[in-house]
Amino acid sequence: MRKGLLSVVTGNTPEVRGTLVDSLLRASPGAAVLSVSVHATATGHPVVQRCPSGVVPRLRDIAAQGTTGDPVVILRQDLHALWRAADRPHVILVLPENLDLLPLLAELWRRRVGSGSMGDYYDPAPVVVGVDPASFTYDIACVHRAVRLWGDWDDGERVTRAEAAARQVEAADVLFVPAARDADGQVTGAAGLARHLNPRASLLTPADGDGLPPALVRVAPPGLWEERQAWLEPVTMPCLAHGPDGRVESVLWRARRPLHPERLSAALAEVARGVVRSRGHLWLPGRPDSIVTWRTAGAHLELREAGSWLGADSPDAWASVSPRRRTLASWFWHDYYGERRDEIVFTGVDIDGLRIRAALDEALLSDAELSLGRDGWRSLADPLIPGGGNP
């Protein structure tokens, strides 16, 4: 079967998305562009508007269509139609900033029973995310306004603007941070922060007028879908940028015993000082079998139960997770604790790694508290997550 090439482009402003599309079209003049916008409805699925260009006339009719439904289902149908209408098409899919990019892409490429996979029709090109420095600097600190992200939820997920900005950057294979007109170090700061939020991605910081290198119009490395799927799991391998970027730095904290919920709550102000973004998972004594994910963007902390730790006697659970998760569990396996551990990466400006680690180490259960076991841990109050512990 002859395959096309699918490039996915997004960014935090219409201008930076337009710059990316223009650059890709210069590298691939015959590409078709499918621009997407997503609008909320009173209830249920959103309205998905698509505007194609550079395609055969009979497919341009969808430009006026706004279809209510699951964005992934609608996009799969459009991409299949484009593939059937052209010989090995190169499609540039332009997505808006109100899509939760990582789960949407994982679902788009997932193989479905009875309908195959998008990989049967297209090879994936690198996902390119544009970061306008001025908008990003404002959004990554904004926790007083909520936005709705559409991804794997019927009615979307309400998150802070800071959380939405961080997720968009973290989903990229390539980060494009154009030069700011007023300079003043704005590009340097935004580019450095973006690199630390997503060290896996290639970082491009071109001067005004420079575009993307033609090499981006190529097939992405194999295993891309599996990597995105693994990144969505509650336990992942921390990914840190090497060295600071000016005043931006990342710090890893890891421990092998539960955190005392009340002491952790008291330490939050000290831990959060200067932190722009943090992600990881915790082991809390009041819920010893549950993975608790930790995520901050700006001054907003989200703790959420997200599945169970793998056990030695749970083969079905091992089979249901990604090979990467199974490998991590084997690396960190403890005969008594299993894969349980605390792991958080903090990224911020002028942060003190020693101070963060010391504050969290002080919040760990002491030897005496640890020896109480599960029955004793039930008496520990948990002010962090409703329903945890017994005050």
Residue 90: pLDDT over 70: yes
Return the amino acid letter for 6. Answer: L
Residue 187's pLDDT band (boundaries 50, 70, 90)? low
Q: What is the pLDDT of residues 317-333, one digit of tens each?
A: 999 888 889 999 999 99
Longest dimension (CA), the chain: 74
Return the amino acid letter for 337. Answer: Y
User: Please, are residues 235 and 293 in contact by the beta-carbon 8 Å criterion?
Assistant: no
Residue 136's pLDDT band (boundaries 50, 70, 90)? very high
Q: What is the mean pLDDT of residues 188-201?
A: 91
Phi/psi at 328 (nearest 5 deg)?
-60, -45
Q: Is the pTM of this model over 0.85?
A: yes
d(CA 159, CA 170): 15
Burial tier of 323 (Cβ tally within 10 Å: 0-12, 13-18, 19+): exposed
Q: What is the pLDDT of residues 13-53, one digit of tens each?
A: 999 999 999 999 999 998 999 999 999 887 778 899 988 88
Q: Which of 221-230, 309-318, 327-336, 346-355 has the lowest mean pLDDT?
A: 221-230
CA atoms within 13 Å, Cβ hemisphere of 381: 6
Q: Mean pLDDT for the chain?
A: 88
pLDDT of res. 11 = 97
